[in-house]
Amino acid sequence: MLLRDTEAIVEAARERLRFWDITDRQIKKIEETGKPVRTMTIYSPASGYVVQKMALQGMRVMPGEKLFDVADLSSVWIISDIYEYELPLVKAGQTAIISLSYFPGREISSVIDYVYPSLTGETRTAKARFTVPNPGGQMKPQMFTNVEIKVNLGKRLAVPEDAVIDTGIRQIVYVDKGDGYFEPREVTTGLKAGGMVEVIKGLKLKENVASAANFLIDSEAQLKGVAPVGGHKH
């Protein structure tokens, strides 16, 4: 009975050490030496780089207290900001081209594996996530990237972005009426891409509009949308 009780106490001691993440090899060494151990190596449950260190020599540690942040950088997440108006076009599974200034001329192809369900209040953007292999740890946390997602928008009526004047209340374009005269026209805009903006309402196909690059309009006209004004033909 005494031998059985002793073995139970020893096994309980082993189990307690395992709960502290002491390895079986370390436990066996303690048993072989038969001597008390004042210090012991605690191994991280994951391999990687220490990116944050909270532990200090001599500090008291309580259960559940974090000592280190360890990151496995063999693959990294790239988080892209997606504007609110672009969200209907962005879905998990789409392919994107990613480029970094750290690798001039090099492009990485990756697939969106998750689109976060909420918006950031300050920027009104959602976030899309990519998982990218990182051999050699060349991509570092907090690096900036450019992400290009190609989306087939089909055929839409669109004008250059600088042709649309936003007064804060409405959006105006100047339609060429011929002989150097232009008519201010209120429009409803939609998607933006590649320097162009979709016009949902207010324009017809083949109507010409003036762009800010070659048509000067005084500030009063921009704010009030005055009657037709003369200008350079577009």
pLDDT bin (cut points 50, 70, 90) of residue 71 is confident
The answer to whether position 66 is within a domain reads: no
Q: Which of 133, 141, 151, 134 is nearest to 82 (CA)?
A: 151
Q: 3 exposed, middle or buried (CB, 10 Å; 0-12, 13-18, 19+)?
A: exposed
127 and 165 housed in the same domain: no
What are the pLDDT digits (tens) for 133-147?
A: 988 888 888 889 999
95 and 130 housed in the same domain: yes
Q: Which structural domain, as residue segments, surrounds residue 200?
A: 158-230
The answer to whether position 210 is within a domain reads: yes
Rounded to an integer, what distance in angstroms lies between the CA atom of residue 62 and that of residue 65?
6
Would the pLDDT of 233 be above 60?
Answer: no
Q: 174 exposed, middle or buried (CB, 10 Å; 0-12, 13-18, 19+)?
A: buried
Domain finish residue from 124, 149, 174: 149
Amino acid at 170: R
Mean pLDDT estimate for the chain: 80
The answer to whether position 48 is within a domain reads: no
Rounded to an integer, what distance in angstroms lies between the CA atom of residue 200 and that of residue 159?
11
Rounded to an integer, what distance in angstroms lies between the CA atom of residue 141 and that of residue 55?
22
Answer for the pair 180, 231: CB distance below 8 angstroms, yes or no.
yes
Rounded to an integer, what distance in angstroms lies between the CA atom of residue 228 and that of residue 225?
9
pLDDT bin (cut points 50, 70, 90) of residue 65 is confident
176 and 143 housed in the same domain: no
Answer for the pair 103, 84: CB distance below 8 angstroms, yes or no.
no
Q: What is the mean pLDDT of residues 186-215?
A: 79
127 and 82 housed in the same domain: yes
Would the pLDDT of 34 be above 90?
Answer: no
Looking at the DSSP bridge assignments, the partners of residue 39 are none
Measured in whole angstroms, the distance separating CA 223 from the mean position of its chain's CA atoms is 36
The answer to whether position 144 is within a domain reads: yes
Task: Give the model's pLDDT for residue 77.
Answer: 92
What are the pLDDT digits (tens) for 145-170?
A: 999 888 777 788 888 888 888 878 88
Counting the structural domains of the chain, the total is: 3
Domain finish residue from 85, 115, 149: 149
Q: What is the mean pLDDT of residues 198-202?
A: 85
Q: What percent of the chain has pLDDT over 70?
A: 88
The answer to whether position 60 is within a domain reads: no
81 and 142 housed in the same domain: yes
Check the CA dihedral 33-38-41-44 and report its sign. Answer: positive
Q: Which of 221, 101, 109 is nearest to 173 (CA)?
A: 221
The answer to whether position 15 is within a domain reads: yes
The answer to whether position 61 is within a domain reads: no
Rounded to an integer, what distance in angstroms lies between the CA atom of residue 151 and that of residue 95?
9
Would the pLDDT of 118 be above 60?
Answer: yes
- DSSP codes of every residue in 116-144: -SS-BTTTTEEEEEEEEE-GGG-SPTT--
